[in-house]
Amino acid sequence: MAPPRETTGCSPDPVPPGIAPDRAARLARGYRALADPTRLLLLATLAAHDGGTACVCDLSVPLDLSQPTISHHLKVLREAGLVTSERRGTWVHYLLESEALAELMPLDALAPTR
């Protein structure tokens, strides 16, 4: 007769997690970034621009926020991998990362409602 297996939980056969730890961490960063209404509005405003790209100056007027505030929120979105940035002369343009966003939410959620 075989000796009983040691278990650490109440189930004799532990179930492996349904998601890899690195993906869980990446998704959590994304969801934290999306948890702020201003950042959701920023993403929707970016999505409305041609090619999903805009500079801070294009975003501050429709959202009625200062450029430093917009820049702060864009930094959080960039660190979460939801937008990327590229310098064009003196301006920094931000671009939606569609694949990263699609993993977190349906992209049509950023479309204007009627």
Residue 2 lies in a domain: no
Residue 91 lies in a domain: yes
pLDDT at position 77: 95
Which of 112, 25, 24, 35 lies closest to 73, judged by CA?
35
pLDDT at position 94: 94
Task: Sort 4 into a burial class: Cβ within 10 Å, 0-12 / 13-18 / 19+.
Answer: exposed
- Do residues 105 and 96 make contact, with C-beta atoms less than 8 angstroms apart? no
Domain with 28 in it:
21-102
Record the tokens describing residue 72, joined without a space. Answer: 């702060």
Residue 110 lies in a domain: no
Residue 49 lies in a domain: yes
Per-residue pLDDT tens listing for the chain (114 residues): 666 656 566 766 666 667 788 888 888 899 999 999 999 999 989 988 888 889 888 888 888 899 899 999 999 999 999 999 999 898 889 999 988 888 887 666 667 765
Number of structural domains found in the chain: 1
pLDDT at position 63: 86
**Spatial separation of the C-alpha atoms in residues 77 and 61, rounded to whole Å:** 19
Task: Sort 87 into a burial class: Cβ within 10 Å, 0-12 / 13-18 / 19+.
Answer: exposed
**Spatial separation of the C-alpha atoms in residues 95 and 5, rounded to whole Å:** 53
**Spatial separation of the C-alpha atoms in residues 103 and 105, rounded to whole Å:** 6
Q: Convert 13-45 to b/e letters by CB count within 10 Å (16 or more is b).
A: eeeeeeeeeeeeebeebbeebbeeeebbbbbeb
Residue 30 lies in a domain: yes
CATH, residue 30: 1.10.10.10
Residue 13 lies in a domain: no
Whether the pTM exceeds 0.85: the reply is no
pLDDT at position 62: 85
Residue 97 lies in a domain: yes
Residue 96 lies in a domain: yes
